[in-house]
Amino acid sequence: MAIPRLGQDVLVTFLEGAPDRPVITGRVFNSRNPVQYPLPEHKTRTVFKSMSTPGREGELRGFNELRIEDKKGREEICAHAIQPNLHA
């Protein structure tokens, strides 16, 4: 589960159709939050990427990423972290 961040577009479903019981069931890409890797070239990738929260104005933003490649013969799982502290 991931809580959507400001500026992200979401899909909403209502439990039992009740408008007072909304549930976010997904997020979609938009011009401010585009797809992470070009399609269809990377259609076999699943990516969970989160940008670091804003720092000082003009400062480069970091990110964390978990990327899964399912292309036959090139399967891999990659993790990227600004602070590489892995805990099992």
Q: Are residues 24 and 49 in the same domain?
A: no
Cα 68 from Cα 64, distance rounded (Å): 14
- Give me the tens of pLDDT residue by residue for the chain, a chain 88 residues long: 677 877 789 999 999 999 999 999 988 888 888 888 989 999 999 998 888 877 677 676 788 899 999 999 999 999 988 876 766 5
**44 and 74 co-located in one domain:** yes
pLDDT at residue 24, as a whole number: 93
d(CA 62, CA 55) in angstroms, rounded, equals: 10
pLDDT of residue 22: 95
**Predicted local confidence at residue 29, as pLDDT:** 85
The Cα-based distances of 53 to 25, 42, 48, 71 in angstroms read 23, 26, 16, 32
Distance CA 21, CA 11 (A): 14
Query: Are residues 43 and 80 located together in one domain of the fold?
Result: yes
| pTM of the predicted structure, to 2 decimals | 0.65
26 and 62 housed in the same domain? no
Q: How many structural domains are present in the chain? A: 2
Token pair listed for 27: 């997020």
Closest CA to 81 of 61, 62, 64: 64
The domain of 9 spans 1-33
